[in-house]
Amino acid sequence: MMIKKSNDSDKGALTHQKTRANTQEEIKTNRIKDAAFDCENADIFYKEYANFFAQINETFLGLQKHCQRNLDGCFKRLHEIREHVKQDDEMTKDAGQFIREKTEELVNLNRTMDQLKVNINDFFENLTAKKLFTFKAR
């Protein structure tokens, strides 16, 4: 075996040519193993990352559906309230007309009753025994 000085000999290191080649080969092998390990780790990380975002996406889709259902329910309720208010407004308008009509009917009925009272009072005030006898004879 021949020991050969290399450029590293300035630092006091003597190396054997074959040992140095083996060492460089081992370094390359270790680097390849490290790179493969890094790739495996990267694959694992990517799978975990993809799963995490799939879960987030699923969660957001669920939230979106939930919010849409709530929003649809709110709009449905709003539409129902608007229809109810519209019906109440129409009923109020109709009720006002109904109240006016019934008030007028009551006033007319009161006038008719007052007139009947006057007629009845007049009839009994003008009733005499002679007229009473005449009515019985008929």
Is residue 38 in a domain? yes
Is residue 5 in a domain? no
Instruction: Give the chain's domain count.
Output: 1
What pLDDT score was predicted for residue 97?
85
Domain carrying residue 89: 16-130
> The tokens of 37 are what?
């390990």
Ranges of the chain whose pLDDT falls below 50: 1-14
Is residue 93 in a domain? yes
Is residue 6 in a domain? no
What pLDDT score was predicted for residue 130?
67
Is residue 3 in a domain? no
Is residue 7 in a domain? no
pLDDT tens for 69-107 read 999 999 999 999 999 999 888 888 888 888 889 999 999
What pLDDT score was predicted for residue 69?
94
How many other C-beta atoms can be found within 10 angstroms of the C-beta atom of residue 6? 13
What pLDDT score was predicted for residue 115?
95
Is residue 68 in a domain? yes
Contact 3, 16 (CB under 8 A): yes
What pLDDT score was predicted for residue 20?
63
What pLDDT score was predicted for residue 125?
82
Cα–Cα distance between 104 and 106 in angstroms, integer? 5
Is residue 107 in a domain? yes
